[in-house]
Chain A
Amino acid sequence: MTVFVIRRLLQAALVVLIMSLLVFGGVFLVGDPVEMLVADDADQAEREMMIKSMGLDLPFYLQYLRFIGNALQGDMGNSFVFQESAMHLIAERMPATFELAFAALFIAVVLGIPLGIYAGLNANSWISKTIMTSSILGFSLPTFWVGIMMILFFAVIMGWLPSSGRGDTVNVFGIPISLLTLDGLSHMLLPAVNLALFKLSMVIRLARAGTREVVHQDYIKFARAKGLSDTRIIGVHLFKNIMIPVVTVLGLEFGGLVAFSVVTETVFAWPGMGKLLIDSINFLDRPVIVAYLMFVVVLFVCINLIVDVLYSVLDPRVRLQEMKS
Chain B
Amino acid sequence: MKALRKLGLAAVALSAMTANVMAADIVIGIRSEPSSMDPYFHNLTPNNGMIGHVFTRLVGFDEQQQLFPSIAESWKTINDTTWEIKLRKGLKFHDGSDLTVDDVIYSFERADGYEGGNSSFRTYTKGKKLVKVDDHTLHIVTEKPYPLMPNDLTTVMIMSADAKGTDSSGKNKGISAKDFNDGTATIGSGPYKFVEWKKGEQLVLEKFDGYVGPIAQPWDKVTFKFIKSEPARVAALLAGDVDAIDNVPTIDVERLKKDPRVTLSSGISNRVIYLHMDQFREDSPFVTGKDGSKIKNPLLDPRVRKALSKMINRKAIVKRVMEDVAIPAGQLLPEGFFGVSPNLKVEEYDPAGAKKLLAEAGYPDGFALTVHGPNDRYINDAKILEAIGQLFTGNGIPTKVVTMTKNVFFKRASSGAEGLPEFSLVLVGWGSGTGEASSPLKSLLATHDKSKGMGASNRGRHANPKMDQMLLEALATVDDAKRGELLAKATDIGIGEDQGIIPLHYQVNTWATKKGLKYIPRTDERTLATDYVME
Contacts and interface: CB of A to CB of B under 8 A. Distances in A.
Interface of A: 30-33, 35-47, 50, 53, 80-84, 89, 92-93, 148, 151-152, 155-156, 159-166, 182-183, 186, 266-269, 271-272, 275-276, 278-279, 281-284
The 7 A-B pairs of least Cβ separation, nearest first, read: A43-B453, A32-B411, A271-B200, A39-B43, A155-B239, A271-B201, A37-B118
A35 to B, nearest CB: 4
B119 A31 contact: no
Most A CB contacts (10 A, CB to CB) among B42, B178, B241 go to: B241
A37 B202 CA distance: 21
Interface string B34-61: 0110000111100000000000000000
Contacts of A53: 115-117
Contacts of B408: 30-31
A162 B239 contact: yes
B430 interface: yes
B120 interface: yes
A160 B239 CA distance: 9
23 contacts: A31-B410, A32-B415, A36-B406, A37-B35, A39-B119, A42-B119, A43-B456, A44-B456, A47-B119, A50-B119, A82-B181, A151-B232, A156-B235, A159-B239, A160-B2, A162-B239, A164-B225, A266-B228, A267-B231, A269-B201, A271-B199, A279-B200, A282-B407
B313 interface: no
Contact of B201 (A42, A151, A159, A165): A165
Interface in B110-153: 115-120, 122-123
Given A40-B430, A53-B116, A35 B414 contact: yes
A46 B126 CA distance: 12
Contacts of B231: 148, 151, 267
A80 B4 CA distance: 44
B353 interface: no
A89 B430 CA distance: 32
Given A31-B410, A37-B44, A163-B239, 6 more contacts: A39-B43, A39-B44, A44-B456, A155-B235, A163-B235, A279-B228
A143 to B, nearest CB: 12
Contacts of A37: 35, 42, 44, 118-119
A323 B506 CA distance: 72
A268 B232 contact: yes
Given A41-B439, A163-B241, A46 B122 contact: yes
Contacts of B240: 159
B227 interface: yes
Given A43-B453, A89-B199, A162-B1, A151 B239 contact: yes
B235 A276 contact: no
Most A CB contacts (10 A, CB to CB) among B44, B118, B119, B238 go to: B118
A81 B35 CA distance: 6
B226 interface: yes
Most B CB contacts (10 A, CB to CB) among A163, A266, A267 go to: A163
B450 interface: yes
Nearest to A92: B199
A300 B489 CA distance: 63
B433 interface: yes
Most A CB contacts (10 A, CB to CB) among B120, B453, B456 go to: B456
Interface residues of B, number: 59
Contacts of B3: 159-160
B356 interface: no
Nearest to A152: B235
Interface of B: 1-4, 33, 35-36, 41-44, 115-120, 122-123, 177-178, 181, 198-202, 225-229, 231-232, 235-236, 238-241, 406-408, 410-411, 414-415, 430-431, 433-434, 439, 442-443, 450, 453-454, 456-457
A83 B177 contact: yes
A189 to B, nearest CB: 11
Contacts of B235: 148, 151-152, 155-156, 163-164
Most A CB contacts (10 A, CB to CB) among B35, B120, B408, B433 go to: B35
Contact of B118 (A31, A80, A166): A80
B227 A269 contact: yes
A166 B201 contact: yes
B377 to A, nearest CB: 10
Contacts of A161: 1
Contacts of B35: 37, 81-82
Given A162-B239, A269-B225, A31 B407 contact: yes
Contacts of A35: 407, 410-411, 414
A151 B241 CA distance: 12
Contacts of A272: 200
Nearest to A33: B407
A39 B439 CA distance: 12
A179 to B, nearest CB: 16
A45 B452 CA distance: 9
Given A92-B199, A164-B236, A46 B123 contact: yes
